Amino acid sequence: MILSNSGRIVVVDNKFDEVNSLLKAFANQGVPYIYTDGSLGYLPAEPLVGVRYVFLDIELNGMQGQNDKTKASGLMQVLEKIIDKNNGPYVILFWTTHEEVIGNVLKNCFKSGIAPVANINLQKKDFYKPDNDKSDVPILDVEALLERIESELSSVPAFQLINQWENAASTASVDFINTLTSYFETEGENWSEHISCIFHKLYKAYAGERECADTLSEFKHACYLINRSYFDTLESSIDKNLHLPEKFKLINGKIPPKVIAKINTTLLINYHGISEIPLGGVYSITNKDDLKKHITDHVFLKKLEQPSQSDIILCRIVITPECLFAQDKMLKGKKNDDTYCYYHRVIYALLWKASDPYDKKKEDSRQKRSDSIFTIGPIYHDESMYMLSCHFSSIDLCLSDELQQDSIFSLRREIFSDLKSKAASHVSRLGNSQITVPK
C-alpha cells in the first residue's frame, strides 16, 4: 500500500501501546505521521491542511460510558481541531464497527464542511497477533491492516491517484534540493555561505542587471528560476513513481459547465500573481468606451445577440517578455520627479459574461471566426462564468503607471506563452494573395 510520504497521516488514540506497532511500521517505511491521544491540549493549535488519513479511536479519554451521540460530539471536537475546511480529500479509519457512532460522526463532519471521501471501519482485535518476544502481549498485525485498508480504498481509486501525485511532488522537491546542494560538502564550515552564493547566482541569472530592493526580493527571483528546473524534476518523478490502482480506468463522463469553468480557472488563471511582475496580468479599463465598442463589434456577430455592455469588461493584458522585465531592459523614460516609467507591451481583450445556463453552441455561434481573435474559457470569476476574448490587432504600448491598480487576475505561464506565440504569429503573418474563382 502506498501511504503519504509528506506527513499527512494523523493517528488519534489514547492507548499508545495499542498503536505503537503501527507507528513503528510507519517509521520503518519512512512515513511521517502525527500522533495525539486526543486530549484537547495536545491537538494542533490551528486545523491542518492536506491531511490524507486519520486513524480515529472512538473511545478517547473521558468518553467511557458515554452514549453514542455524546461520543460522536466529542470526536467532532477533535476532528475540527485537526481538519481544516480547506483540507482537501481525506479518509477516516475508525477503530470500531459500531454503525451508530460512525453514522453520527460522518453526519457531523458533513455539517461542519469536513466530510471525508471515504471511511473504513475496523476492529482492533481483528488485527492483533501474539508477540513472539512477549507471548502475553498482543501486537498489531500491521501488514494485515494495510492490506485491508488497500482493499477498502479500491472503492475510491481516484483518492489513491491524488495521494501518489502528492508523493511524487514531495519526492521531486527532495531530489531537486539534494542535487542543488550537493556541490558543497555539508561538513564544511562555509556550507551556508556557499549555498547563499548559489542563490545569489540564480538571482542574477534571472534578473540580469536589474537590482532588487532587498534580499527577500533577490531570494524570490532565485526561486522563480528554480521553479522552472523543478518542473522537469517533477515530471521525471511522476514518470517513475506513478502507478494505476488495479483495474482503474479514467472515465469519460459528463461534467457540468460550471465545474469545467472552475477547473479552467485552476489551470489557466492565477489570482495570486507575483506583485513585482505584472506579466500576464489582466487589467480592467474604464475610460476607453469607443475602443470597447470597436472590439465588441469585431468579436461578435451583429446579427446575433451580443452580451450587454454591462456584462463586458474591456481589459488590457501585459505581454511584455519576462526576460525584458526581469533584466531591466524595457523601454523606459524619466519622469519629472526623476523616477522612471516603463512601457509595457499589451493587447486588448474583452472579459464577457457567458450565458447562464452555459450554452456552448450559442457562445461559439455568436463570435466571429478570425485569426485575430483568441478566446479563452469558460472560466469562473466573480461567481459567474466568463470568456476572455483577446484581439491581436490591438497590440499597443502602455505606461507602467497605468497598471498601478490591482489586476483582475493573471494568466498562468502556459496559456500566457500560448497567447504571446499567437500574437507574434498574427503580427508576422504574410497573408494570402491567391485569386479565387467566383461562384
Per-residue pLDDT tens over the stretch 223-266: 988 988 899 999 999 998 888 777 778 888 889 999 999 999 99
285: closest CA among 416, 378, 405? 405
22: closest CA among 97, 116, 124, 90? 124
Looking at the fold, whether 263 and 402 belong to one and the same domain comes out as yes
CATH number where 107 lies: 3.40.50.2300
Residue ranges making up the domain that contains 183: 164-241
The count of C-alpha atoms lying within 13 angstroms of the C-alpha of 180, restricted to the half-sphere facing its C-beta, is: 22
* pLDDT at residue 357 in the model: 82
Residue 103 inside a domain? The answer is yes
Work out the percent of the chain whose per-residue pLDDT is above 70: 95
* pLDDT at residue 87 in the model: 95
Cβ neighbours of residue 76 under 8 Å, at least 6 residues apart? Answer: 105, 108, 109, 112
Residue 28 inside a domain? The answer is yes
Looking at the fold, whether 273 and 344 belong to one and the same domain comes out as yes
- pLDDT of 379-404, one tens digit each? 999 999 999 999 998 888 888 777 76
Looking at the fold, whether 237 and 332 belong to one and the same domain comes out as no
Angstrom distance (rounded) from CA 113 to CA 109? 6
Alpha helices in 279-335 (DSSP H): 289-299, 322-326
Looking at the fold, whether 408 and 276 belong to one and the same domain comes out as yes
Looking at the fold, whether 20 and 130 belong to one and the same domain comes out as yes
Residue 433 inside a domain? The answer is no
Name the more confident of 276 and 27: 27
pLDDT band at residue 308 under the 50/70/90 scheme: confident
Pairing status of strand 373-381 against strand 384-399: antiparallel
The region of weakest confidence among 31-35, 161-165, 329-333 is 329-333
Name the more confident of 326 and 288: 288
Angstrom distance (rounded) from CA 377 to CA 282? 14
Q: Which of 133-137, 421-425, 426-430 has the highest mean pLDDT?
A: 421-425
Looking at the fold, whether 314 and 386 belong to one and the same domain comes out as yes
Looking at the fold, whether 185 and 233 belong to one and the same domain comes out as yes
* pLDDT at residue 137 in the model: 60
pLDDT band at residue 367 under the 50/70/90 scheme: confident
Looking at the fold, whether 206 and 292 belong to one and the same domain comes out as no
123 close to 97: Cβ distance less than 8 angstroms = yes
Looking at the fold, whether 300 and 363 belong to one and the same domain comes out as yes
- Max CA distance (Å), the chain: 98
* pLDDT at residue 135 in the model: 56
Residue 296 inside a domain? The answer is yes
The overall average pLDDT reported for the chain is: 85
* pLDDT over threshold 70, residue 304: no
Looking at the fold, whether 21 and 100 belong to one and the same domain comes out as yes
pLDDT band at residue 33 under the 50/70/90 scheme: very high
Count structural domains, the chain.
Answer: 3
User: Quick one: cell of 39?
Assistant: 486530549
Angstrom distance (rounded) from CA 314 to CA 108? 46
172 close to 233: Cβ distance less than 8 angstroms = yes
Residue 60 inside a domain? The answer is yes
Estimate the crossing angle of helix 16-28 against helix 142-152, to 10 degrees: 80
Alpha helices in 181-214 (DSSP H): 191-207
Element (H, E) at 411: strand 409-411
Residue 436 inside a domain? The answer is no
The region of weakest confidence among 7-21, 267-281, 419-433 is 267-281
87 close to 50: Cβ distance less than 8 angstroms = yes
Mean pLDDT of 2-9: 79
- pLDDT of 112-170, one tens digit each? 999 999 999 988 778 877 666 665 666 778 888 888 888 888 888 888 888 889 999 99
Mean pLDDT of 40-44: 88
Q: Which DSSP symbol is given to 300?
A: B
Looking at the fold, whether 146 and 169 belong to one and the same domain comes out as no
User: Quick one: cell of 80?
Assistant: 475540527
User: Which residue type occupies 2?
Assistant: I
Name the more confident of 273 and 260: 260
User: Which residue type occupies 284?
Assistant: S
Looking at the fold, whether 24 and 89 belong to one and the same domain comes out as yes
33: closest CA among 18, 46, 48, 45? 48
